[in-house]
Amino acid sequence: MPFRHDFDPTSLREYDIRGIVGKTLHPADAFAIGRTFASMVIRAGGKRVVVGYDGRLSSPALEEALVRGAVESGAEVTRIGCGPTPMLYFASVADGADGAIMVTGSHNPPDYNGFKMMMAGKPFYGDQIRELGRLSASGDVQPATEGSAVRSDISSRYIDRLLEDYDGVRPLRVVWDNGNSAAGDVLARLVERLPGEHTVLFGEIDGHFPNHHPDPTVEKNLQDLIRAVEEKKADLGIAFDGDADRIGLVDNRGQIFWGDQMLVLLAQDVLKRHPGATIIADVKASQILFDEVAKAGGQPLMWKTGHSLIKTKMAETGSPLAGEMSGHIFFADKWYGFDDALYAAIRVLGIVSRLPGPLSDFRDNLPITVTTPELRFNCDDTRKFEVIREVAARLKSEGADVSEIDGVRVNTADGWWLLRASNTQAVLVARAEARDEAGLDRLKDALASQLEASGLKAPDFSGENAGH
């Protein structure tokens, strides 16, 4: 019977394929992804595809269907089993696979799942995902044949490679919040081999996520880690998202070290080896980050939010390090240019062990600003990009200092505010940063008035200020 499959249109996203299991995502979709992605790999001259999956309850069945589809298109599939997304990236890059697919719902609720892909060692996103949907809908795939599938445990090689770049000079006391993520087994074996005293919270891989939601960018999800750091008098605490490609960090006082602050710490270290190098951060990052990178002799580059977009820009510019507010940290210095929370943790441990004082001293020495957290509010998919265009046009007509790298980021005497359309959800995302509370209030008023001018009700910003 000839192959043809239509995906739920909401599942084909900018950076991945994602949906609610049993509603917008089914094993038939996984089979179609395997069938079509493998066809694309084969038509590009490849054959070898690596597949992994995370700890969600639906992941084994989706992986099974995915592999069947890829094999039917003639691919040679290597199944690396359950583990963190970066281990799949490592398997792909280290062994020169032609394609790679991770079954993962990332940091989404337990009933979600999805697929992150690479082709020829590069992110597979945007137009490529849309093309996969088109080929599947038209049945334009390789004739049914019989490829092969083998199982391979790459975890020992991955752990060995992570440890190769550990460069600590004194043992540390560290608390790790695995958050029941897919890193669990790898993390347990990793900390056994690291010097110091290590405590792992919620180390068991559990797709129910019974302890807290697996997203380390949300303050309430870090409360267990903060308490444990204080109780253990630890040097730092480290948290992962559901598939361990994003990292969260707290210092010895239990204060959250946000993604852009972490990037300052890492950039100062990397720039000692790569003076003058380009360091990339997304448009949501603090101005302090860009200023501190310049002060350390680097070339700061503000770029679009989205892990696939950042990875692509790194390759273009030869950047050794990049990061996002969301906790995606990308190393091309000694590593392979992909986002890996376990690897970022290893590098952070080395740096903290060499600091002259505690990590909180480093944080205290950064300039103080007041910021909003990332503010998200609903806006129809058909309207969200129009709103950004309208706001940009009005600001330019007023002579404002506007960057349009990704949405609008407006610089004023008080600081800056940002409004961008999410590429993955029907929401607008806003953020603002100022030197003091009064300045932040003025920035929030400016943002609210622009939203209202486009016919949107501004969200309630009260109580949304935080030190940074």
Q: How far apart are CA 70 and CA 31, in angstroms?
A: 8
Which residues in 205-359 belong to E strands, given as ranges?
Answer: 236-240, 247-251, 256-257, 278-282, 299-303, 321-323, 329-331
In sequence order, the 6+-apart residues with CB closer than 8 A to the CB of 172 are 195, 196, 197, 234, 235, 236, 349, 352, 353
Q: How far apart are CA 356 and CA 351, in angstroms?
A: 10
**Residue 155 exposed, middle or buried by CB count within 10 Å (0-12, 13-18, 19+):** buried
What dihedral angle (degrees, nearest 10) is formed by the CA atoms of 160, 164, 168, 169? 110
Q: How open is the CA angle 391-393-398, to the nearest 5 degrees?
A: 95
Catalytic residue among 73, 106, 136, 155: 106
What dihedral angle (degrees, nearest 10) is formed by the CA atoms of 443, 447, 450, 454? -170
Which structure tokens are listed for 376?
């998200």
Contacts 24+ apart (CB under 8 A), 352-360: 352/168, 352/172, 352/235, 352/236, 353/168, 353/169, 353/170, 353/171, 353/172, 354/168, 354/169, 358/235, 358/251, 358/252, 358/253, 359/235, 359/236, 359/251, 359/252, 359/257, 360/251, 360/252, 360/253, 360/255
Cα 380 from chain centroid (whole Å): 24
Is 106 one of the annotated active-site residues of the chain? Answer: yes
Q: How far apart are CA 107 and CA 155, in angstroms?
A: 22
Give residue 441's region: left, alpha or beta (phi > 0; psi -120 to 50): alpha
DSSP letter, residue 103: E
Q: What is the DSSP string of 49-94?
A: EEEEE-S-TTHHHHHHHHHHHHHHTT-EEEEEEE--HHHHHHHHHH
Q: How open is the CA angle 53-54-55, to the nearest 5 degrees?
A: 130
Q: 253 in helix, strand or coil?
A: coil
* Catalytic residue list: 106
